[in-house]
Amino acid sequence: MTVRPSDLPILVADDDAAVRSSLRIFLKAEGLDCVLVASPEEALAALAEREFGALLADMNYRRDTTSGAEGLGLIAQAGVIDPQLPIIAMTAWGTVALAVEAMRGGARDFIEKPWDNTRLASMLRNLLALRRSQLSNQRLAAAHQLLNAGNAGGGAARPWISDSPAMRALMAQVELLKDAGVNLLITGENGSGKSQLAQAIHRASARAQAPFISVNMGAIPDTLFESEMFGHEKGAFTDARQTRIGRFELADGGTLFLDEVGNIPLNQQAKLLQVLEGGQFERLGSAKARRADVRLIAASNADLDQMVELGSFRRDLLYRINSVQLRLPPLRERGDDILSLAEHYLASHAQRYQRPPKTLSANARAALLQHAWPGNVRELAHCMERASLLSPQQQLEPADLGLGPAARPPAAALDGAELTLDEAEALLIRPALRRAGGSAPQAAQALGLSRSAFYRRLEKHRL
């Protein structure tokens, strides 16, 4: 398992055994591990062997108990070993000049002994938050060149954090497939990041400089399917006041992403299959055959194999779009990523709303790890945004996250339940989707709603 920055111990360097013992007890009470050493030499040896969350460094040791020279030397050499290591300088002989010298030498802060526990705890929380952000960025830069290849697809992607074993395995597959050109099918729950994965694959591929065209297949009315996908000529039908280029032509040379491909009406699936097999199409109102060189990536949260068995999805189309299937794990299976994503969103929202960044208490972090995240990464992003805006506290506690109880009354118990109309709608929609195997058109039909009305409710309730 990848070590999270929050798991890294604090290195304490002090020649006084009583001070080391006091700091060990204090740090344990704060939920932090520590490694204790008695000299600068031992501290440097420890830094050379492993990573630490921060260094608490005494300024004076037995060879020189007043000048701070040994402490300044330790700070300078520690900065060479790990330039981003947060360092707090400590001394019982504190002077303004020594504090300034320590800060110039690389310390992030300075504290006098005997220290104030509240102030030291605040220092450590702030510096560890910075450390977590720095180390997360390092891992992202080293492991995921996908996000460093530009943004040819347009739009802001979610951070592609993947410390968890499940995500590391997925990214290893992506690395092998990015330039293969085969059609890909991405499966995963709503909100897990399927469109972000598709964009990342495009940006990492040889097609990165060409267009990335995304189409929400559930949002295209049946009557406009051919016009949207293949284009039309002026006058092809009543409202065709000008020529329109379809999505296949727009994606020429690049990637065409068909999101929620299971929502394509059965009568339109044959038309899509014909284009994928023959490699050519015609605009509505034109007899001229056109070709577009596209790499197809499709995504679905529905069980397409089950839809094939039910007769609502063509088997031959599934074979065509499913050269290789990539399963994007839900957030509840990505324990190592939850805290990294949460911290990213807190920092991002602080910058967006021009507010001081908030931190997570140990209890809040535990609550995040215990939550089931039915809305996946999208739910986590909304959770962090809400907490950033509404919590008056600098350090977030579980109550600030608004995760609420894990369970709600079942739809069968609506009678007599004190629910708003919106809550009742959401309670009816969720089981309908489950019964339909995730197929939005089937769930809409079961509830007596049109597809467009059903999708409006999915968006409204963030489902």
Coil, strand or helix at 65? coil
Which backbone phi and psi does 252 adopt, to 5 degrees?
-55, 125
Tell me whether residue 406 is in a domain. no
Tell me whether residue 361 is in a domain. yes
317 shares its domain with 392: no
Residue 420: per-residue pLDDT: 67
168 shares its domain with 259: yes
373 shares its domain with 271: no
Cα–Cα distance for residue pair 26/117, rounded to 1 Å: 8
Cα–Cα distance for residue pair 196/147, rounded to 1 Å: 10
* Burial of residue 242 (number of CB atoms within 10 Å: 0-12, 13-18, 19+): exposed
Tokens representing 420 are 């708003």
Residues whose CB is less than 8 angstroms from the CB of residue 212 and which lie 6 or more positions away in sequence, other chains included? 152, 153, 154, 198, 199, 202, 203, 251, 254, 255, 257
Tokens representing 199 are 């964009």
Q: Is the pLDDT of residue 76 over 80?
A: yes
Tell me whether residue 116 is in a domain. yes
Residue 136: per-residue pLDDT: 54
Per-residue pLDDT band at 20 (split at 50, 70, 90): very high
The secondary structure of residue 356, as a DSSP letter, is P
Residues whose CB is less than 8 angstroms from the CB of residue 72 and which lie 6 or more positions away in sequence, other chains included? 59, 101, 102, 105
Tell me whether residue 360 is in a domain. yes
91 shares its domain with 60: yes
Tell me whether residue 452 is in a domain. yes
Residue 64: per-residue pLDDT: 64
Tens-place pLDDT, residues 350-389: 888 888 889 999 999 989 988 989 899 999 999 999 999 9
Residues whose CB is less than 8 angstroms from the CB of residue 459 and which lie 6 or more positions away in sequence, other chains included? none
125 shares its domain with 198: no
Tokens representing 345 are 């969103």
Q: Among 327, 350, 380, identify where a domain stops.
A: 327
| Residue 183: C-alpha distances to residues 131, 209, 277 (Å) | 40, 19, 12
Buried b (16+ CB within 10 A) or exposed e, 271-287: ebbebbeeeebbbbeee
Tokens representing 331 are 């957030």
Tell me whether residue 282 is in a domain. yes
Tens-place pLDDT, residues 286-338: 877 888 889 999 999 888 998 999 899 999 999 999 999 999 999 988 887 89
Tell me whether residue 68 is in a domain. yes
Q: Among 310, 327, 344, identify where a domain stops.
A: 327
Tell me whether residue 90 is in a domain. yes
Tens-place pLDDT, residues 213-266: 999 988 888 888 988 899 888 888 887 788 888 899 888 889 999 999 999 988
Q: Among 379, 401, 423, identify where a domain stops.
A: 401
Q: What CATH number corresponds to the domain at position 320?
A: 3.40.50.300
197 shares its domain with 288: yes
Mean pLDDT of the chain: 82
154 shares its domain with 300: yes
- Asked if 228 and 256 count as a contact pair (C-beta separation under 8 A), the reply is no
Tokens representing 42 are 């031992």
Cα–Cα distance for residue pair 66/51, rounded to 1 Å: 30
H or E segment at 399? helix 398-401
Per-residue pLDDT band at 462 (split at 50, 70, 90): low
From the CB of residue 126, how many other CB atoms can be counted at a distance below 10 Å? 17
Which backbone phi and psi does 253 adopt, to 5 degrees?
85, -10
As a whole-number percent, the residues of the chain with pLDDT over 90 amount to: 30
Q: What CATH number corresponds to the domain at position 20?
A: 3.40.50.2300
Residue 153: per-residue pLDDT: 37
214 shares its domain with 307: yes
More confident residue, 296 or 280: 296
Q: How many domains does the chain have?
A: 4
More confident residue, 335 or 96: 335
Residue 411: per-residue pLDDT: 43
Residue type, 333: E
Buried b (16+ CB within 10 A) or exposed e, 65-77: eeebebbbebbeb
Tens-place pLDDT, residues 131-181: 776 655 544 443 343 333 333 333 334 556 767 788 888 888 998 998 888
Cα–Cα distance for residue pair 61/69, rounded to 1 Å: 9
Residue 278: per-residue pLDDT: 84
35 shares its domain with 81: yes
Mean pLDDT of the region 110-121: 87
Coil, strand or helix at 329? coil
How many Å is the maximal CA-CA distance in the chain? 92
Rg (CA), the chain: 28
Name the residue range of residue 275's domain: 150-327
Residue 418: per-residue pLDDT: 55
Residue 437: per-residue pLDDT: 63
79 shares its domain with 225: no
Residue 133: per-residue pLDDT: 67
Q: What CATH number corresponds to the domain at position 439?
A: 1.10.10
More confident residue, 315 or 422: 315
Q: What CATH number corresponds to the domain at position 339?
A: 1.10.8.60
137 shares its domain with 121: yes
Residue type, 437: G
290 shares its domain with 196: yes
Residue 404: per-residue pLDDT: 64
Residue 48: per-residue pLDDT: 81
Q: Is the pLDDT of residue 5 over 50?
A: no
H or E segment at 36? strand 34-37
Coil, strand or helix at 115? coil
| Residue 430: C-alpha distances to residues 320, 442, 443 (Å) | 30, 13, 9
